[in-house]
A and B are shown apart, each in its own frame.
Chain A
Amino acid sequence: MQATGRYRLSRYVVSVPLSDRHTILHSTLYRSTVVVANDLLSEVGYRSGSVDSAQLAEAELRPLIEQEVLVSEEVDERDRVRYLIASTRFDYSVMEVMLLTTRACDFRCTYCTEAGRYAGTHMDSSVARDAVAYVKRTCEARGTRHLIAGFYGGEPLLNSPTMVHVADALREALDLSRIRLTLFVISNGYGLTETMFDRLAAAGIQHFQITLDGPEEIHNARRRLEDGSGTWRRIVENVIHMMGDSRLKGLSIRVNVDAHNAPWIPQLLDDLETRGLLDDRKRVQVYVAPVVPSPEPLRDWNRYILWGEEKARVLAGLWQMMEERGIPVTAFPNVYPCGLTVEWGSLIDPSGDIYACAGFLGVPEYIKGHLPEGGVSPRHMRILLEEPRNPCLDCVWVPICGGGCRHVAAMLGHPHCDKAFYDAAYPAFLRIVTRQSVEGREDLRQLAACI
């Protein structure tokens, strides 16, 4: 069918220069990316906000319309954002649950969001059984096709028998169903010894996230044991062992970044490269994540938190360094969707309390339900049904930020708009991700040659 009529650039499209002659057009609503020649943009006068389809050849117009970069002038795009948020809210086709096998932790990280709320409690077999039954029941009732179950804490490995027990029980519970199961662990990495990895891998837990915050001295100043000892060497030794095991399916090396460690991250990347830890691009990724405020930081650590343009400058610099080293830049630190904005993402703590966000663990008013029955508290229901405020609906970033992080808002005592960060960081991220995507793509050889 011939595309006719008047179109405009979607209000949810970011326009980013890629080279002197090319521009990236990216829809934050549909996550589509199109690169166009600048002369085409000039011809259609797109900056005026309106594009006459008669000025474009069908072959050029169609992909822009199909990718929702251009939208018909008849479309009210606010409805599309409302639709995205509403349709996502209760969509259990992918369910994500984090099981906190313990609230205890052997680390005392300076910026921990659970600081002051640690508890020695481990999840016992009765709660573990209830958790598995609840997850199975929910998956079946809601038509889940993929269950992603993670282990978290505290430090989940401090109660590894329960991890293995839950992993076995989930596999057994879903065995005859068509529900795909992925198991992963978010760990500090210290206890991921060869023996531990062997035990977990045998239980089907083969995706891991560990954290390294810099070269040894910097990491150890931030992520130390309760007695003050360093943790870097043992974590790196564990990573080396894991990478030698073919059962490892995915390892995310998370780097929590703030003003304290940012200057040292390049040295960490060099160190990891020298040791060959980043060679396996398929299984290993590096994820740089901005540190978020803690309710009880050690040594007044919140002073190092990065905000706005400064946060963007630091992250963009790190992504650039990753690109120069050939390390894939795979993830932007988005805050939508999160457990507070969708129903299908939850955390279950050792007592059977169900939370929506790890930032509120141990805060009673943010408990959304309790095992065995589950449930949704009136407060959670109200948060869940909130729509982004009116000015946000028109913002190009709202499909990524969902109206802002509730944890940060709670820490600050007021809603926090991170637009200054997105304005500066997302274009930088897009440029790098686009360059990395174009590389090696046979169908984009011509483009790769001129950017």
Chain B
Amino acid sequence: MDAQTRVWMVQGKQDFVAKLEPRFCGCFCGVKEIS
């Protein structure tokens, strides 16, 4: 990236299914980051 960069991609978009993994609601279960 050069000094003129004004847009940085931090997290690319996730497809509808992939973004649901890990899933289930965080209120009751909350186990995350299963890999």
Given A91-B17, A250-B33, A446-B1, answer yes or no on A40-B25 (Cβ-Cβ < 8 Å). Answer: no
What 1/0 mask marks residues of chain A from 69 to 98 whose CB sits below 8 Å from any chain B CB?
Answer: 000000000000001100110010110101
Question: How close is B1's CB to chain A, nearest CB, in angstroms?
Answer: 5
Closest chain A residue to B15, Cβ basis: A30
Q: Which residues of B lie under 8 Å from residue A94 when comparing CB positions?
A: 17, 20-21, 23
Q: Which residues of B lie under 8 Å from residue A333 when comparing CB positions?
A: 26-27, 30
Question: How close is A352's CB to chain B, nearest CB, in angstroms?
Answer: 21
Q: Which residues of A lie under 8 Å from residue B5 when comparing CB positions?
A: 446-447
Question: How close is B25's CB to chain A, nearest CB, in angstroms?
Answer: 4
Q: In whole angstroms, what is the CA distance A72 to B4 when docked?
A: 26
Whether B32 and A67, one on each chain, are in contact in the complex, defined by CB atoms closer than 8 angstroms, is no
Given A96-B24, A146-B21, A443-B1, answer yes or no on A87-B33 (Cβ-Cβ < 8 Å). Answer: no
Whether B7 and A64, one on each chain, are in contact in the complex, defined by CB atoms closer than 8 angstroms, is yes
Overall SS of chain B's interface: loop
Q: Which residues of B lie under 8 Å from residue A238 when comparing CB positions?
A: none
Whether B30 and A254, one on each chain, are in contact in the complex, defined by CB atoms closer than 8 angstroms, is yes
- Of the 9-residue stretches A103-111, A124-132, A161-169, A285-293, which lies at the interface with chain B? A285-293
Asked if A279 CB lies within 8 Å of chain B CBs, one says: no
| 1-35 of chain B: CB within 8 A of chain A | 1, 3, 5-14, 16-17, 19-35
| 334-371 of chain A: CB within 8 A of chain B | 334-339, 345, 357-359
Asked if A332 CB lies within 8 Å of chain B CBs, one says: yes
Q: In whole angstroms, what is the CA distance A289 to B17 when docked?
A: 24
- Of the 9-residue stretches A31-39, A222-230, A317-325, A387-395, which lies at the interface with chain B? A31-39
Among B6, B10, B29, B32, contact of A285 (Cβ-Cβ < 8 Å): B32
Q: Which residues of B lie under 8 Å from residue A267 when comparing CB positions?
A: none
Q: Which residues of B lie under 8 Å from residue A98 when comparing CB positions?
A: 29
Overall SS of chain A's interface: mixed
Q: Which residues of A lie under 8 Å from residue B32 when comparing CB positions?
A: 252, 285, 287, 330-331
Whether A63 and B7, one on each chain, are in contact in the complex, defined by CB atoms closer than 8 angstroms, is yes
Whether A186 and B20, one on each chain, are in contact in the complex, defined by CB atoms closer than 8 angstroms, is no
Closest chain A residue to B10, Cβ basis: A33
Q: Which size class do A's interface residues fall under?
A: 35 or more
Asked if A188 CB lies within 8 Å of chain B CBs, one says: no
Q: Which residues of B lie under 8 Å from residue A88 when comparing CB positions?
A: 16-17, 20
Q: In whole angstroms, what is the CA distance A68 to B33 when docked?
A: 24
Q: Which residues of B lie under 8 Å from residue A358 when comparing CB positions?
A: 28-29
Given A66-B13, A250-B33, answer yes or no on A292-B27 (Cβ-Cβ < 8 Å). Answer: yes
Question: How close is A266's CB to chain B, nearest CB, in angstroms?
Answer: 20
Among B12, B23, B31, B35, contact of A337 (Cβ-Cβ < 8 Å): B23
Q: Which residues of B lie under 8 Å from residue A338 when comparing CB positions?
A: 24-25, 27
Q: Give the one of B3, B21, B28 with max A CB within 10 A.
A: B28
Whether A150 and B31, one on each chain, are in contact in the complex, defined by CB atoms closer than 8 angstroms, is yes
Q: In whole angstroms, what is the CA distance A66 to B31 when docked?
A: 30
Q: A32-B13, A444-B8, A446-B3 are in contact. List 18 more A-B contacts (CB 8 A).
A: A31-B19, A33-B10, A34-B8, A35-B10, A37-B6, A64-B7, A66-B13, A87-B16, A186-B29, A250-B33, A252-B31, A254-B30, A287-B32, A289-B26, A289-B30, A335-B25, A434-B10, A444-B10
Binding site for B on A (CB under 8 A): 24, 26-27, 30-37, 39-40, 59-60, 63-64, 66-68, 83-84, 87-88, 91, 93-94, 96, 98, 113, 146, 148, 150, 152, 182, 184, 186, 207, 209, 250, 252, 254, 285, 287, 289-290, 292, 330-339, 345, 357-359, 405, 407, 434, 437-438, 443-444, 446-447
A-B contact pairs, 16 of them (CB 8 A): A26-B11, A33-B9, A34-B8, A68-B13, A88-B20, A94-B23, A98-B29, A150-B31, A184-B34, A252-B31, A332-B26, A335-B25, A337-B25, A338-B25, A358-B29, A446-B8
Closest 5 CB pairs of A and B: A30-B13, A338-B25, A32-B13, A37-B6, A33-B11
